[in-house]
Amino acid sequence: LRSSDGVLTVALESSSQQVNIAGRDVRAFSYNGGVPGPTLRVRAGDILNVSLRNGLTDPSNLHVHGLHVSPENNSDNMFVTVAAGDSFDYQYDLPANHPPGVYWYHPHHHGFAADQVFGGLYGAIIVEDPDPIPTSRERVLVISDITVDSSGTIVTTTAMEKMSGREGELILVNGQLSPALSAGAGERERWRVINACTSRFLRLRLDGQQLTLLGIDSGRFESARDVDEVVLAPGNRADLLVTARAGTSSLRALRYDRGASGGMMGGGTTSSADVALATFAVAGAGAGGFTAVPDQLAPRDLRSATVTARRELVFAMGMRGGMSSGMMSATINDQAFDATRIDTTVQFESVEEWTLTNTSTLDHPLHLHVWPMQIIEQDGRPVESAIWQDVVNIPARSTVRVRIAFDDFSGRTVYHCHILDHEDAGMMGIIQAL
Ligand code: C2O
Ligand code: CU
Ligand code: CU
């Protein structure tokens, strides 16, 4: 679905129904009957109208992940509840200087986010380039995971799985298991890859092909870089060029160790095995002769900015009321989410430096709504590039420093761990921009 004359108006209906997933009939959650939901294509300066109908039996709402839009009123407002059977009309006004790139949408009702995303509610948003890089074709790859039993029912998650963050047994690409992609040799493709998994990190490889990374999230590298692999935490996106070379390659997610909660609950490792996600077969000559990728406009570099405020956020996990209680606590600065409390107040036009410390044995990918973060320092070492991301991983037992420019938009929104089971368990805070 593509905007025309600066407006895209879509109706999204979430429901629980039979959907064909990985070649099976699965009773899943879907937007408009599909997993993933429709891809929405807009441009900077556009208005995106989404009329959401919640056909689920639980409360829900809609979040446009990564879009730099107002968090107030009927824009990207995290405090809207759309009750079962109700509707809500969202209107997102993209500023004229909105960065192009790969974004996505998903429900975000506290307490229900993990179940609803795991169940199939997500879709891509593309903010088109003003000057598209010439390619043979573009693919949007929404990668998600799910666990389904033999009767086609989504398997419920145990308390222990929630502690480490549930990982589905099946990894899907656009709702399919191992889809076959094909191209002609010499062709150049644009791949927009979204990690829509609830907790799984994706360490992606496509051996035998040339991968060129344009950016992560809304961030752009000044010069595109050739890479062997790309690591996406839950919520991250990659904007890639693939130059097709003859032969058949496998898009794989390699083993990634995001720590263990074993110390606390007697088990539960979270390092996943290598998995093949899709095949990419290149045969015959395609249209080649693409010119080098032009340099891109890099974002402002906050390393030289004047910092107006500094804050520390400490991410911790433990058990409430002792080891045997089975009640996980997931906190930021010792507090679990409270919808009535404002945790962080920031001033308009300030540049803040946040020191993010993870005291637990699991990685926590921190996501901040509306304002992207620039990573400055990782465990005391300065970071080379000036890339801006909206999900920044804080590895187990480590510290990451980021800077954030609060240039525009006021209102209340949230930051949280994008392992959605941790978010639902309380690892979320409220930020108010004045
Ligand atoms: Cu992708 Cu607050 O979420
Ligand atoms: Cu988000
Ligand atoms: Cu977490």
Which residues hold their Cβ within 5 A of ligand 3, which is an ion?
364, 417, 419, 422
103 located within any domain: yes
- Same domain? For 238 and 314 the reply is no
Report the pLDDT value the prediction gives residue 261, as an integer from 0 to 100.
59
2 located within any domain: no
Mean pLDDT of 113-139: 96
> Among 74, 102, 127, where does a domain finish?
127
- Same domain? For 85 and 115 the reply is yes
> Among 59, 94, 127, where does a domain finish?
127
- Over residues 176-186, the pLDDT tens digits come to 999 999 999 99
385 located within any domain: yes
- Same domain? For 143 and 121 the reply is no
Report the pLDDT value the prediction gives residue 262, as an integer from 0 to 100.
47
294 located within any domain: no
> Among 127, 162, 193, where does a domain finish?
127
Helix, strand, coil fractions of the chain, as percent rounded to 5: 5, 50, 45
Report the pLDDT value the prediction gives residue 222, as an integer from 0 to 100.
86
Q: Point out the ligand 1 atom lying closest to the alpha carbon of residue 428.
A: 2
ipTM for the complex? 0.99
- Same domain? For 122 and 145 the reply is no
Q: Quick one: which ligand is closest to 198's CA?
A: 1
Report the pLDDT value the prediction gives residue 263, as an integer from 0 to 100.
46
Neighbours of 13 (CB within 10 A): 16
Ligand 1: residues with CB < 6 A are 63, 65, 106, 108, 235, 367, 369, 416, 418
Residue 404 maps to which CATH number?
A: 2.60.40.420
Our count of domains for the chain comes to: 3
DSSP per position, 51-91: EEEEESSS-B--EEET-----STTSS-TT--B-TT-EEEEE
- Same domain? For 147 and 268 the reply is yes
Give the N- to C-terminal CA distance of the chain in Å, as an integer. Answer: 35
- Same domain? For 104 and 149 the reply is no
DSSP per position, 340-404: T---EEE-TTEEEEEEEEE-SSB-EEEEESSS-EEEEEETTEEPSS--EESEEEE-TTEEEEEEE
291 located within any domain: no
- Same domain? For 359 and 397 the reply is yes
418 located within any domain: yes
- Same domain? For 242 and 324 the reply is no
277 located within any domain: yes
Q: Quick one: which ligand is closest to 197's CA?
A: 1
Nearest CA to ligand 1 atom 1: 65
Share of residues in the chain with pLDDT > 90 (%)? 84
Segments forming the whole domain that contains residue 205: 137-285
- Over residues 204-235, the pLDDT tens digits come to 999 999 999 999 999 998 889 999 999 999 99
Query: pTM of the prediction?
Result: 0.96
Q: Point out the ligand 1 atom lying closest to the alpha carbon of residue 106.
A: 1
Q: Point out the ligand 1 atom lying closest to the alpha carbon of residue 78.
A: 2
Report the pLDDT value the prediction gives residue 321, as an integer from 0 to 100.
66
- Same domain? For 421 and 312 the reply is yes
297 located within any domain: no
